[in-house]
Amino acid sequence: MSVLVFVEGFNGEIKKSSLEAATYGYQVAQQLGTSATAVAIGEVHEEALAKLGEQGISKVLYDADSRLNNFVADAYVKVIAKAAQQENAKVLVFSNSNIGAAVGAKLAVRLNGSLATNVTTLPKTDGGFIVTRSVFSGKAFAEVNLTSDVKIIAVKKNALEIANAGSGPATVEKFSADLTDADFAAAPKETIMQDTSGGVLLTEAEIVVSGGRGLKGPENWHLVEDLAKALGAATACSKPVADLDWRPHHEHVGQTGIAVSPNLYIAIGISGAIQHLAGVNSSKVIVVINKDPEAPFFKAADYGIVGDAFDVVPKLIEAARGLDK
């Protein structure tokens, strides 16, 4: 029996959230006295797969079928299910991404397994297999006992540090689920937006710089972009900004948009409606810049600057650029 970790790639590299999932999978394997194997799908550099050994992964099953470069849920499920069967994996671990959530739910049905999403802790194995989930947009936690023979866990992004297990390179093995055209034609291709705002994948970003209507118009968006570039951050926006067509909807973060969990979230000219907070409250540090001292966002902020964004942000850009000198 082993633990199987599904890792996602982007531009040939392993996503940060999948490295977190690999760390989690290895630690669960240590608890259970077994090994952790990964399965990778699509276009990923084999060098990146081998480096998963740093997170304790001993072996990677790699299906390089080019048809898998675009996400198709049923085909992905077939690959992962076959890998789980081959490895006799009873614990499957994913990142709680859009892809992970879609695949995890289908696998739970296919394998008759128990599924827990948004998991933040390692399982308690005394008297069961109990994990803690973040629920109600991060406002509460719930403990759930996974009672099925197969246990499927989607790890919340940024919930744990990426650990270096000090192991050598993982063994990368070619793997095939013998997919047919029917596996791709049975259902329409599900499109998962891989946004690279600011040159950084938004859902994987360590730092996010976000703007709201306080910027007064799209012609002032260079303030967000310049600060993001200086910090190596992704850019995002509030829902009203996307609704006004100042920015594309795939940059909208919030309850009805993308949920992010960066180490640092900088909100410029965003009042902080509860729907927006629901999508960003997992950020480790929140900085709010707003000229209205009564803006609700200040109540959720770790640091706040009361001031006009057109005065404050240029000074932050200058300071951030100075960090590299």
Dig out the tokens for 271 from the structure: 């009042």
**45 assigned ligand-binding residue:** no
Tell me: is residue 269 an annotated ligand-binding position. yes
276 known ligand binder: yes
State whether the Cα torsion 95-110-91-10 is positive or negative: negative
How far CA 33 is from CA of 27, 44, 127, in Å, comes to: 10, 29, 17
Is 138 annotated among the ligand-binding residues? no
Residue 272 is labelled as binding a ligand: yes
Quote the crossing angle between the two packed helices 222-231 and 309-322, to the nearest 10°: 20
- Is residue 100 a known part of a binding site? no
Q: Is 282 annotated as a binding residue?
A: no
The answer on whether 112 is annotated among ligand-binding residues is no
| Helix, strand, coil percentages, rounded to 5, for the chain | 35, 25, 35
In this structure, the chain runs to a length of 325
- Residues 205 and 199: their CA atoms lie apart, in Å, by 10
Q: Is 118 annotated as a binding residue?
A: no
Query: What is the DSSP code (8-state) at residue 8?
Result: -
Q: Tell me the pairing of strands 285-290 and 264-268.
A: parallel
Q: Is 275 annotated as a binding residue?
A: yes
- Indicate the residue type of 49: L
Strands (E), the chain: 2-7, 9-10, 13-14, 36-41, 59-63, 89-95, 114-119, 130-135, 140-145, 151-155, 171-174, 207-211, 234-237, 264-268, 285-290, 303-306
- Of all helices (H) and strands (E), which one includes residue 146? none
| Number of Cβ atoms within 10 Å of the Cβ of 240 | 15
Compute the distance between CA of residue 59 and CA of residue 121 in angstroms, rounded to an integer.
24
Residues belonging to the binding site for FAD are 213, 269-276, 290
Residues belonging to the binding site are 213, 269-276, 290
